[in-house]
């Protein structure tokens, strides 16, 4: 945990051709710090979030096992504690991101890969705090939070032209 990031980030490269763990952790710290600075998120002291960077094969297995969807996805989030009320912690949860899907989506959207990774980390973080997008009203609230957080990092609105099919 650094001085500005309110959670300890445990980073693991499980599979795939990713940058170093240090680079990915720095990107995660940027995304999560912005989420906390922009949104009303609170955790107890010494809270940890786990980020697993993997490939389409592994995320497809998880997606099938936990969501009954036999296909790869860009990001999955698994809340760590059963708490439904803030503050959350000490285990905030796990965010798993798949390299091939993220790379393909970034290319299709014509956006920098790093911007897409940051967006998905923000998206996954909000899921850990109970945000969801299964119904229209909740999706609009979650997307609004994402837009604010990403704007604080000078990242253009990812929903401007076409909604991201994150975690569906």
pLDDT in tens, 111-148: 999 999 999 999 999 999 888 877 778 778 889 899 99
In terms of pTM, does the model score above 0.75? yes
Best CA proximity match to 28, nearest among 91, 94, 82: 94
**In this predicted structure, what is the pLDDT of residue 130?**
83
Mean pLDDT of the chain: 87
CA–CA dist 135, 121 (Å, integer)? 21
**Mean pLDDT throughout 97-124?**
94
Question: Which pLDDT score is estimated for 88?
Answer: 66
What is the rounded distance in angstroms from the CA atom of residue 85 to the CA atom of residue 33? Answer: 20
CA distance 123 to 86: 18
Return the minimum-mean-pLDDT range out of 1-5, 36-40, 131-135, 161-165: 161-165
Cβ-in-10-Å burial (0-12, 13-18, 19+) of 25 comes to middle
């Amino acid at each position: 945990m650094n001085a500005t990031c309110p959670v300890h980030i445990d980073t693991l490269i499980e599979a795939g051709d990713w940058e170093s763990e240090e680079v990915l952790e720095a990107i995660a710290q940027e995304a999560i710090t912005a989420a906390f600075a922009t949104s009303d998120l609170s955790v107890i002291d010494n809270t940890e979030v786990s980020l697993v960077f993997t490939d389409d094969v592994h995320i497809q297995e998880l997606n099938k096992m936990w969501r009954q969807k036999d296909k790869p996805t860009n990001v999955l989030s698994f809340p760590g504690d059963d708490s439904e009320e803030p503050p959350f912690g000490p285990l905030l949860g796990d965010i798993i991101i798949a390299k091939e899907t993220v790379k393909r989506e970034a290319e299709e959207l014509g956006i920098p890969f790093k911007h897409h990774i940051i967006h998905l980390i923000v998206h996954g973080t909000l899921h850990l705090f109970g945000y969801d997008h299964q119904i229209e009203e909740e999706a609009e609230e979650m997307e609004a939070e994402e837009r604010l957080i990403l704007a604080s990092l000078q990242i253009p609105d990812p929903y401007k032209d076409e909604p991201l099919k994150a975690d569906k």
